[in-house]
Amino acid sequence: MPEGFNDAGQFLNAKDNSFSGLESTAEVRNFEFQGIPQDSLDKVKTALSIFPKGHRPQVGERIPHYQLATITAKDDELKREHDIGAVFIPGVDGTAANNAVTASALYKELGKGRDLGFTLSMSSSVSRDTLDDPYVHSIERKAAQQASVIVEYLKNHPVKELMLMGHSLGAQELVYVAPLLERLLQEHGMDTKIGGLILFNPGGQFDRSRLKFMTTDTSTVIHYDREIDEKFPTAEILQRIREQREEAERWGNSTEVDRLNRQMDEMTAKYADPQDLPENIKHEVQRINTELDQTDDPDTISTLMKRRHEILQPVIASLLVGADTREPMGKLRKSKMNRRIGRATALRKRPITKQNPAWIRDLDTYPTAVVLGDNDPYFPTSQVSEMFRKGDFPYPKAPVFDLATVGNGSHIGVAIEPQKYAGIAVDLYGKLQQEAVQPTPKSPTGQIIPNMQIHHY
């Protein structure tokens, strides 16, 4: 067991179907962090000097009880160095255990042809893992604590290169974590290199009205309408893609036609053979799909769609639980969680609806990719894409910045389709590494031009 961590295996179902295929080669564990060692606190204080005055919080030995769900090679020796490892920080309400499925998916993808040491998912800073700890308001303090947890794990599982991946609030926090982590590693005499950041549906990328964010079509969010559309598409969605493809063909946009062809192939396969469903529910969904195809009556369509959603909403909810063994929270604890979510996302000084301040964006000197879903109501691709087209690059010091979009992607697609999104993350990470070694483009006056690529999945 890594030093400074306690076993928290009771929260993780290590026999979950998500880990199938890893039984003979990998070990799935869950740990709880016990606090920053006293001899590391001075190093944390020194690392915080990279932040401007006024943004250097006090960090004590006791911090929230972050958990880590880890995937490592079976019988791997402690402190044996590997080439690469990966850390995932989820969005609000994400526990380490329910995001272990993402760590597992990353392990399968990142381990192809690489000497992989580990993949892990952390607790979100706002989750039931940390709910009994005092709320941490400062994003800088959270980042210092999260970076410290990662460093303590790396002491026992060293790697030469680290891939960092975050989602939503976790992606916003990761921008603060990365430079602190790099400096902390130096303070500890560790030569781990941060290879790049992959930010899924991230907060803090552009300015958006708090009111619009907080009043985002909550009925569709609560009932997982967009998540159902992404994972279990209807014929109506297929028809929408066909119409978009026809329009792209009329305009002669071959790149868009190729993207829509790939999206059509994916959605057609999902429509014909829905995955991650018990057989009885799968047959019921297919029966409803057939009936929807055969009727034009609005009342019948409404009744069938209502029934379809009633069947599939619990499926999405179950996927979000992942490998976490705990029973759903009671009303009081859920109310406490919702208050923290509101404070963390929209009510604090730097909410996820505001672009991260320039000083922290200037500290991102790593290959960075932002991944957005076409069907994300919180961070719509249209607004971000328009900002980039105007030349407002969020990370001007990053050697490479890539923007990627996911066709029909919802806000929490990374949680409901972990293998697909892990594949996207690893593909993008590879692209960033290739682009980073290319010559940096410059204008005729010698000014560095941001090296930006756009990808569609």
Tens-digit pLDDT profile for residues 51-60: 999 999 989 8
Q: Radius of gyration (Cα) for the chain, nearest Å?
A: 22
- Asked whether residue 259 falls in the same domain as residue 306, the answer is yes
Closest CA to 140 of 212, 22, 47, 208: 47
User: Looking at residue 378, what DSSP letter applies?
Assistant: S
* pLDDT for position 222: 59
SS3 assignment, position 11: helix
CA dist 331 → 98, 115, 328, 337, 338 (Å): 20, 45, 9, 10, 10
As a whole number of angstroms, the distance between CA 239 and CA 247 comes to 12
- Asked whether residue 183 falls in the same domain as residue 312, the answer is no
Domain stops at, among 321, 344, 376: 321
- Asked whether residue 316 falls in the same domain as residue 342, the answer is no
CA dist 192 → 48, 83, 166, 284, 394 (Å): 19, 9, 19, 51, 25
Task: Supply angle C-alpha 222, 306, 405, rounded to 5.
Answer: 50
- Asked whether residue 12 falls in the same domain as residue 151, the answer is yes
- Asked whether residue 187 falls in the same domain as residue 110, the answer is yes
SS3 assignment, position 309: helix
Spell out the per-residue pLDDT of the chain, length 457, in tens.
778 899 999 999 998 888 988 888 899 999 999 989 888 999 999 999 999 999 999 898 788 999 999 999 988 887 899 999 999 999 999 999 999 999 999 999 999 999 999 999 999 999 999 999 999 989 999 999 999 999 999 999 999 999 999 999 999 999 999 999 999 999 999 999 999 999 999 988 877 766 666 656 454 455 799 999 999 999 999 999 999 999 999 999 998 999 999 999 999 999 999 999 999 999 999 999 999 999 999 999 999 999 999 999 999 999 999 999 999 999 999 999 999 988 887 766 667 778 899 999 999 999 999 999 999 988 888 766 666 666 667 888 898 989 899 999 999 999 999 999 999 999 999 999 998 877 666 555 555 455 778 888 9
- Asked whether residue 51 falls in the same domain as residue 171, the answer is yes
Closest CA to 68 of 179, 155, 146: 146
As a whole number of angstroms, the distance between CA 255 and CA 446 comes to 31
- Asked whether residue 61 falls in the same domain as residue 11, the answer is yes
* pLDDT for position 219: 47
CATH number at residue 10: 3.40.50.1820
Closest CA to 322 of 94, 137, 167, 70: 94
- Asked whether residue 172 falls in the same domain as residue 305, the answer is no
Helix (H) or strand (E) holding 336: helix 331-342
Query: What is the number of H-type helices and E-type strands within the chain?
Result: 16, 10
Residue 71, token pair as written in the block: 């995937």
What residues contact residue 158 under an 8 Å CB cut-off, 6+ apart? 79, 80, 81, 82, 117, 190, 192
How many residues are given for the chain? 457
Which residues does residue 369 pair with via DSSP β-bridges, in sequence order? Answer: 198, 402
CA dist 353 → 55, 118, 211, 349 (Å): 20, 33, 10, 10
Within 10 angstroms of residue 378's Cβ, the number of other Cβ atoms is 20
- Asked whether residue 171 falls in the same domain as residue 71, the answer is yes
Domains held by the chain: number: 2
Helix (H) or strand (E) holding 404: strand 401-406
As a whole number of angstroms, the distance between CA 435 and CA 78 comes to 33
Task: Supply angle C-alpha 114, 117, 122, rounded to 5.
Answer: 120
- Asked whether residue 331 falls in the same domain as residue 316, the answer is no
The answer to whether residues 82 and 96 touch, using CB atoms and an 8 Å cutoff, is no
Domain stops at, among 321, 349, 364: 321
- Asked whether residue 16 falls in the same domain as residue 162, the answer is yes
Domain stops at, among 268, 302, 321: 321
Structural domain containing residue 250: 218-321
From first CA to last CA, the distance across the chain in angstroms is 39
Judged by phi (left if over 0) then psi (alpha if -120 to 50, else beta), residue 51 lies in beta
- Asked whether residue 382 falls in the same domain as residue 244, the answer is no
Closest CA to 148 of 295, 77, 46: 46
